[in-house]
Structure 1
Amino acid sequence: MMKTLVTFLWAVAFVSYSSSQNTAGTEEPLPGPDATGATVVEEEDPFFKVPVNKLAAAVSNFGYDLYRQKSSESPTTNVLLSPLSVATALSALSLGAGQRTESTIHRALYYDLITNPDIHGTYKELLASVTASQKNLKSASRIVLEKKLRIKSGFVPPLEKSYGIRPRILTGNPRIDLQEMNNWLQAQTKGKISRSSRELPKDISVLLFSAAHFKGQWVTKFDSRKTSLQDFHLDEDRTIRVPMMSDPKAILRYGLDSDLNCKIAQLPLTGSMSMIFFLPVKVTQNLTLIEESLTSEFIHDIDRELKTIQAVLTVPKIKLTYDGEVTETVKQLKLQSLFDSPDLSKITGKAIKLTQVEHRAAFEWNEDGAGEAPRPSAQPGRLAFSLDYHLDKPFIFVLRDTDTGALLFLGKVLDPRGP
């Protein structure tokens, strides 16, 4: 659901661009009656009128739902997800679903809000955009089916055409099936995600498997000589020392959200991607208020409203991984019927149901970047002093493809040491 962008306050105590910019911003008005009494309805942002962007917003909103549910299940640990890869597996599965089950999946993915007769064709365009070589994103999804299953011939061609997926039928030999899955994972991620020793679950009917890897390259690299051990506050009482990258004259985009009581910063990455950080003003592990605000539309509004500033920046080096199930998480997104009695009659004539949803994700950033960015010249009345932005307490990050608006990764970092 579209959220009205909250006010971004630009106090003189933080940054001063010029004398004409020393006043606080004002909140955007809600739609309401005009002078004639007629209700004024805000027009749809032109960005979302592009079919691939509209689809990206829909599956991203599913991603934020998935993240919120996972975070509520793991309130005291880091959370890392690549929701697009999970959404891709579900969207691909809908090609094999009858009308009832297809509608269930499409509602969870917010397709019911899209007037697009070719969802799957547009999804192919989206995947091509976000996995282009310059993006540094490796993402893969797969449908795994029980042994000796006879697949209907009409299911495979559209699956390959739109998603580049061929369904995998198990052999029934756990060792061979695990080896094949690991080989596939290595090939799809170009070796970026290591092999897993976790056994495949027994009695699989349908298993959805998704994986993604990303190693970010900043547009402006950090000087490794300035990386040092610094304090990270786990909470009000506990502090650890972690490697922190520093840039005393970083150029970033910034906003202070007074409603969420957090400082928001955006750093550009190569390949038309960006990282958005949500940092509470006070040390806290309860990030629920921020999490509940996350939608595609809200993030898009933030991207438009943040202002470019100079800052003293410190960012922890990060290497996070996730290897496990998201089955129960997916069930809570009004998809329980997929595990009970779905109609997957376009896949096979046998009654089958979703057994498990597996997800593997690996995400990291360090000092690597494309090079030095031009620094603004010191001019009277402009950038009179820098703001401090230190990711030295629990925070949330969002990795977004700026071309399509697609959510690629997001996480809750309570402890930057991982996993």
Structure 2
Amino acid sequence: MKRTTFLLVFGLILSFCQAQSETGAEEAAGEEEQHVELFTTPVTKMGAATSDFGYNLFRVLASREAATNIFLAPISASAVLTQLSMGGSERAERQLFRALRYHTLQDPQLHNTLKDLLLSVKTPGKGLSMAARIYLARRLRVTQDFFTLVEGQYGVRPKALLGGARDMKDINDWVTQETGGKVQRFLTKPLPRNPGVNAVSAAYFKGKWVTRFGESRVLQNFQVDGGASIRIPMMQQDSYPVKMGADSDLSCTIAQIAMQDDVSMFIFLPDEVTSNMTLLEESLTAEFVQDLSLTLLPAQVFLSLPALRLSYSTDLLPLLGDLGLAEWLEDQDLEKISAQPTKLSSVNHKVVMETAPEGNQYPSVAATPSHLSYRVDHPFLYLIRDEASGALLFIGRVVNPKDLTI
């Protein structure tokens, strides 16, 4: 559901921000002058499309996996499904493009634009590495033009499966290599016996903050739905610069925290301790988040944030029908891959993420102690966004950090 209006309530934050030093205000003004307007260039429009696909995918997953930790790297899933679209008929391509939100772009150079976006979000300083590839059953008589087309556009050649246990090792080794050794054991069980076409997407993110945390891994209480508390490692720092706002419609407080190389983390913290975040999840669109980034106000807070280290994997194939692809799943028409009838058998997806307490700089020593706290000490939703393009890199719902493992 697309939100066209929202109300941000700033009473407490406004009074606090007015007490900030003139230096802090000048810094905030400088940041606003550097803001890049979104939705005006092919790459930022593509960033919005991949983001909206990601939000839609996240909503479907969230509805199926209620009250649990879930995570996605939508841009990686977009990349591999776009590769797949190159093997479909015009009808199949049109259906996939609608699910991927490309039908809104009217971009005749769509593949070049996506390639530019992928290159921009994978620059080393952003902390993101990705793997996206199509694997094909050995029995298929594959059209060589498909191999050449995908490799020429995205720099990764679809690969024929070897058969048996060798497939799992081959795929796992490739994903590990593409992610610098960070995403391991991508597959933990063999592919389907009649594998057909398999889409592989993985991503690793280790974000570093612009402002470092002075204390990391301090054990603190985190309340979970139902009233219980658990002890988890938290990062914390006084006089931490953020942008904040409170949304009364969504009953949550929102913080935007700057990460290195023009990346931000947005945290949506419900007012109540609850794992039911359906209303919040339904509100998310590229336009809504962009509006937030322009409306949140600078503040210095005592910030307490869970130290995230997580690994999450799932098969996205069962979700595609709820993205408007039910008809396509019945007749996929992948005629440019093979003249033989074939279907997509799996869309395996795995994400690994870490946040380090380190940053480029310490909080300002001249800053007065914070009177405003932002303690992320109960279930929350977060997203990682590339500010230059507006592309959604990661999105997650944290219900119980104790269950997060790498």
- Output the TM-score relative to the length of structure 1: 0.88
CA contact (8 A) 1:138 1:189 kept: yes
Provide the residue aligned with 2:148 in structure 1. 157
SS in 1 for 2:16: coil
Provide the residue aligned with 1:408 in structure 2. 393
The alpha carbon displacement at 1:158 in A equals 2.7
Provide the residue aligned with 1:361 in structure 2. 351
For the residues of structure 2 that align with 1:18 and 1:167, how far apart are their CA atoms?
56
The alpha carbon displacement at 1:14 in A equals 7.1
Residue identity in the other structure for 2:38: F
Q: 2:108 aligns with which of 117, 125, 140?
A: 117
Matches within 5 A, 1:15-30: 15-18=15-18
Provide the residue aligned with 1:193 in structure 2. 183
Structure 1's unaligned 5+ residue stretches are 20-44, 379-383
Residue 58 and residue 337 in structure 1: after superposition, are their counterparts in 2 closer, same or farther (change >3 A)?
same
Q: 2:70 aligns with which of 76, 79, 84?
A: 79
Provide the residue aligned with 1:290 in structure 2. 280
Provide the residue aligned with 1:249 in structure 2. 239
Provide the residue aligned with 2:129 in structure 1. 138
Provide the residue aligned with 1:320 in structure 2. 310
The alpha carbon displacement at 1:323 in A equals 2.2
Provide the residue aligned with 1:268 in structure 2. 258
Matches within 5 A, 1:161-310: 161-172=152-163, 174-195=164-185, 196-224=187-215, 227-310=217-300
Residue 2 and residue 331 in structure 1: after superposition, are their counterparts in 2 closer, same or farther (change >3 A)?
closer
The alpha carbon displacement at 1:162 in A equals 2.5
Residue identity in the other structure for 1:203: N
For the residues of structure 2 that align with 1:12 and 1:66, how far apart are their CA atoms?
35
For the residues of structure 2 that align with 1:13 and 1:203, how far apart are their CA atoms?
58
The alpha carbon displacement at 1:164 in A equals 2.0
For the residues of structure 2 that align with 1:412 and 1:376, how far apart are their CA atoms?
36
Bigger Cα displacement from structure 2, 99-108 vs 228-237: 228-237
Aligned residues: 388
Q: 1:195-251: CA deviations, max 9, x gaps?
A: 243222221111111000101111111123x64211101024211111111112111
Residue 13 and residue 84 in structure 1: after superposition, are their counterparts in 2 closer, same or farther (change >3 A)?
closer
Matches within 5 A, 1:99-118: 99-118=90-109
Q: 1:121-151: CA deviations, max 9, x gaps?
A: 1011011001111111011111111113222
Residue 46 and residue 274 in structure 1: after superposition, are their counterparts in 2 closer, same or farther (change >3 A)?
closer
CA contact (8 A) 1:15 1:385 kept: no
Matches within 5 A, 1:326-337: 326-337=316-327
SS in 2 for 1:100: helix
Bigger Cα displacement from structure 2, 394-403 vs 369-378: 369-378
CA contact (8 A) 1:338 1:353 kept: no
For the residues of structure 2 that align with 1:272 and 1:49, how far apart are their CA atoms?
18
**Largest Rg, 1 or 2:** 1
Q: RMSD of the TM alignment (CA)?
A: 1.9
CA contact (8 A) 2:239 2:364 kept: no
Q: 1:127 aligns with which of 111, 118, 121?
A: 118
For the residues of structure 2 that align with 1:96 and 1:132, how far apart are their CA atoms?
28
The structure with more helix, counted as a fraction of residues: 2
Provide the residue aligned with 1:399 in structure 2. 384
Q: 1:13-59: CA deviations, max 9, x gaps?
A: 7742338xxxxxxxxxxxxxxxxxxxxxxxxx952011011011111
SS in 2 for 1:405: coil
Provide the residue aligned with 2:7 in structure 1. 7
The alpha carbon displacement at 1:375 in A equals 5.2
Residue identity in the other structure for 1:308: P
For the residues of structure 2 that align with 1:311 and 1:149, how far apart are their CA atoms?
59
Provide the residue aligned with 1:386 in structure 2. 371
For the residues of structure 2 that align with 1:12 and 1:68, how far apart are their CA atoms?
31
Provide the residue aligned with 2:26 in structure 1. none
Q: 1:100-120: CA deviations, max 9, x gaps?
A: 111110110111111111110
For the residues of structure 2 that align with 1:130 and 1:202, how far apart are their CA atoms?
36
Instruction: Report percent identity of matched pairs.
Output: 37
For the residues of structure 2 that align with 1:56 and 1:84, how far apart are their CA atoms?
9
Residue identity in the other structure for 1:368: E
CA contact (8 A) 2:87 2:336 kept: yes
Residue 6 and residue 199 in structure 1: after superposition, are their counterparts in 2 closer, same or farther (change >3 A)?
same
Matches within 5 A, 1:43-82: 46-82=37-73
For the residues of structure 2 that align with 1:74 and 1:9, how far apart are their CA atoms?
31
Matches within 5 A, 1:341-352: 341-352=331-342
Residue identity in the other structure for 2:71: L
- Output the TM-score relative to the length of structure 2: 0.91
